[in-house]
Amino acid sequence: MLSKIFSSLANRYITEKLLESEAFHRMAQRTHHHIQRFSEEGSSRIRDLQEGESAQEGQEKLDRLLRAVRETYEEEYGGGTKKR
């Protein structure tokens, strides 16, 4: 019971500090922007496939999109793909 109270207080404190942080808001905005862009590109690829694009062409476009996502992530966040 006591641990739940401490956990709740810690979560509330951390959340409040993140909401006060300008750096956190910048990171959240960049992340939102990238996710929006990748979602739009993914939707475009799905429409292309539905309109009769060959499987090979679709796979090539998907591979390019995934490479772009990976490169953007590495540029923005320094990779972070190492296992801990």
Whole-angstrom distance, CA of residue 73 vs CA of residue 56: 26
pLDDT value of position 84 = 42
Give the per-residue pLDDT at 44.
Answer: 82
Distance in angstroms (rounded) separating the CA atoms of residues 58 and 46: 8
Q: 81 in a domain, yes or no?
A: no
Q: What is the pLDDT along the chain (84 residues), one digit of tens a residue?
A: 889 999 999 999 999 999 999 999 999 999 999 889 888 888 887 777 777 667 777 778 888 888 988 888 888 877 655 444
Residue 57, in any domain of the structure: yes
Domain holding 48, by residue range, is: 2-75
- Confirm whether 64 is domain-assigned: yes
> Does residue 60 form part of some domain?
yes
The answer as to whether 24 is a domain residue is yes
In whole angstroms, what is the distance from residue 83 CA to residue 81 CA? 6
pTM here? 0.47
Split into its structural domains, the chain has a count of: 1
